[in-house]
Structure 1
């Protein structure tokens, strides 16, 4: 069994200090180190989602031929469902005191959890950091003459320092960024309204038009998927809160911050989509803001720093979760170096094939997060101390949750509608748009509940004890 940090008496060595580098990684956070207020989750996730990628996602509304009302309601619905899932998962972090990646060991098993973590968190962290950094560098190049690779390297250095310094500094930076970005994006919002056409109606001639219902559901799925790609990191930034913290409050603040930011920028994207959807992201923003374009470009650069720091931080915890022999600081450097490489490769096309690949990762995230929620509420919550101990028990190598996840992903793939892969049943429900997420969630529920009455899977491979029998 791998050692972890149980509750220890004494004076905190980290506490709420922003002057100290975070000393903890994937181990359980001791009670003496627990601190913070759930409202910090609002500013954290608000700043994390105040990025150009959300605004650009709103541009797709006109490409699907949606009216303004259809576009806005799709953004609201997709974001809200994803944000609630995010909030529920973040609340689990306060109870268990470990990152979301480690929590996956509960239903998946210690070693089987390596697969979803490698796919869903490490690759996602590298990819999304690259996407956001490409936008930042392109924006910076409109302000000053600088080679792409130099600008990218400098931005990554700043992001990496934030991530290395750790949890408390990231929360503080996002608190400041919430105010700064809200002011800057408020300016962009006012300027953007000069291009708004509230009279835009349904357009059957749009490039991606697939009908009112199908287009609405697919567009809503964009925003749902965006939020869901954050869910494997949800507890990374809530695990320092006291275990007595209200789960409801953590959920509400987390969901509220995510929803407010994405509804704001996604909504603006919808309102200007008939104009901006015809342009690349940075030129579109420049056109929207006119003489204020320099302010908009600096906003893009600054908005990248907090979100990318969070991705690098979560990516480093993921490396440790799958037992890559590095510490958290080296892990940040490894993830940053890999992401810098991807950034240089995709510098001219941030929303190219890699973005499509990240969309497929979202298909895989939905069953994973569904199973995590089911396992916590149906099994782990009642176990108390045993639940945390199990997360560090290497003898629980593979559990039924992993099998359920694989089956759910396989079933979901039958309905995938991506430029990289189209499932054989994707056309069956074409009138309802992309149903892959729903298929994955339903399959995960059915598979998990089907396996739940069975003896623990690890017990079938030689381990039989009362703890496992009780835990299952």
Structure 2
């Protein structure tokens, strides 16, 4: 039984006989992944930076819907292809060219692991009375163990977290309402376009950050699973979980002010009570962060393996190598967390948001190619062959990607860099919108031209196994 729980697959195609589950599993996973303290803090930032309650909640909802829709479109690729998310990038960037966005994704998820470990480590340290540093290390070890077991335990963790964290948030919401005059807050609404766009950007960026690994957790679903169902349940789970947490964060920040900013974990636990209730809430905070940190570790592992295999031609990974990769990510993330637990993480979190600039163009290119140009038809065998249909490096996609990054810079606003067009927009950061729209249009034009010149009939490729191709799909269609 234990051996059946441990995942044997990595970046190879999941055979039909190993597929299982329903699209509803995406709802519980992404609901649990979003009902956690960092999502609360993200929502609270909309008020901390100057927004009011009504328009902050409205902007956050709009951003969650927009970013969540992009994220859910990636999720719908999982059952169709049976592959991790980032390996499909090879169809756009080439088998080796895909390493360009992959390298940045790995850095970002190590950073997310680190920032999450600091908050969770505080909770674990309080819960166990060991202190923050042992709490961070203990949390990292549990995270690594669960990521090593893999897909089944990740979904089981999501189901548990979705229930436990939802109950905790209901309780905390009731406690918060005792301190909040909602009627008074509802009348204090003053629309400010920059603050509204900030709220939209905060939640949209939050959702877009899931894009590079969301299909990792839908790829075991039966191939017959409806793309609409996968999209719908993923969208529902991630939007409901994020909006619930972020709205709570808005109300907490509007009520508590500096007390929340200075100690997010302590304030939320104190809001709930003391004694056994406080211990339970520390456990809930750790559980919520564990869910998303396991996703970060597992997704980072998949991205590293995808990068390495593009040059080594490797399709199957041994259990020992799998453990070594995950241990490396865990060690790197823990080292960053320990080094920056006191002051560094504020600046590092800004750096992580800056990294979002580098994969919103990836997301646009991937979705346009998959849904509009290739029309959900990829030669899966060629995704591992640098001399095959997709080649080693696809310079058109890499050029569009570079343009997609460059056009965002004038609209980007961080503590260490602010673009020249931010001030005319009242301080709003709309770089993520530009980073989606411009490369999507540009790649659509260039990719469509290449697709028209590609062969359109079936083409049997040497060495292509039946399970290596999307069912019913002619292989002759190029991916642009």
TM-score by shorter chain over 0.5: yes
Instruction: Give 2:220's aligned residue.
Output: 240
Q: TM-score, normalised by structure 2?
A: 0.86
Do the aligned residues in 1 keep the contact of 2:46 with 2:56 (CA within 8 Å)? yes
Shift of 1:337: 0.6
Counterpart selection for 1:258 from 231, 238, 245: 238
> What secondary structure does 1:274 align onto?
helix
Instruction: Give 2:437's aligned residue.
Output: 442
Q: Tell me, in whole angstroms, the C-alpha distance in 1 between the residues paired with 2:366 and 2:121.
A: 36
Q: Tell me, in whole angstroms, the C-alpha distance in 2 between the residues paired with 1:60 and 1:215.
A: 11
Structure 2: gaps spanning 5 or more residues: 455-459, 462-474
1:90-105, aligned counterparts within 5 Å?
Answer: 90-105=75-90
Tell whether 2:425 aligns with 1:429.
yes
Q: Tell me, in whole angstroms, the C-alpha distance in 1 between the residues paired with 2:249 and 2:153.
A: 31
> What secondary structure does 1:142 align onto?
helix
Do the aligned residues in 2 keep the contact of 1:59 with 1:277 (CA within 8 Å)? no
Shift of 1:428: 3.3
Instruction: Give 1:316's aligned residue.
Output: 301
Shift of 1:239: 0.6
Do the aligned residues in 1 keep the contact of 2:410 with 2:420 (CA within 8 Å)? yes
Tell whether 2:248 aligns with 1:268.
yes
Instruction: Give 2:385's aligned residue.
Output: 393
Instruction: Give 1:44's aligned residue.
Output: 29
Shift of 1:203: 8.4
Q: Which moved more, 1:217-226 or 1:182-191?
A: 182-191
Q: TM-score, normalised by structure 1?
A: 0.87
Do the aligned residues in 1 keep the contact of 2:56 with 2:195 (CA within 8 Å)? no
Runs of 4+ in 1 over 4 A off after TM superposition: 201-204, 453-456, 465-471
Q: Report the RMSD for the aligned CA atoms in angstroms.
A: 2.4
1:343-375, CA deviations, whole angstroms, 9 ceiling, x for partnerless residues? 101212475111001111222222111111100
Instruction: Give 1:169's aligned residue.
Output: 153
Instruction: Give 1:418's aligned residue.
Output: 414
Structure 1 residues 404 and 288 mapped into 2: Cα distance closer, same or farther (>3 Å)?
Answer: same
Q: Tell me, in whole angstroms, the C-alpha distance in 1 between the residues paired with 2:137 and 2:478.
A: 51
Structure 1: gaps spanning 5 or more residues: 1-13, 205-210, 460-464
Do the aligned residues in 1 keep the contact of 2:91 with 2:479 (CA within 8 Å)? no
Tell whether 2:48 aligns with 1:63.
yes
Tell whether 2:443 aligns with 1:451.
no
Aligned length: 440
Structure 1 residues 339 and 99 mapped into 2: Cα distance closer, same or farther (>3 Å)?
Answer: same
1:305-352, CA deviations, whole angstroms, 9 ceiling, x for partnerless residues? 221111111111111011178732221111111101011012124751
Structure 1 residues 426 and 71 mapped into 2: Cα distance closer, same or farther (>3 Å)?
Answer: closer
Q: Tell me, in whole angstroms, the C-alpha distance in 1 between the residues paired with 2:303 and 2:376.
A: 26
1:22-58, CA deviations, whole angstroms, 9 ceiling, x for partnerless residues? 1100111111111110000001111111110011112
1:378-404, CA deviations, whole angstroms, 9 ceiling, x for partnerless residues? 2233635x2x23322213112222221
Q: Tell me, in whole angstroms, the C-alpha distance in 2 between the residues paired with 1:351 and 1:221.
A: 20
Q: Tell me, in whole angstroms, the C-alpha distance in 2 between the residues paired with 1:455 and 1:73.
A: 41
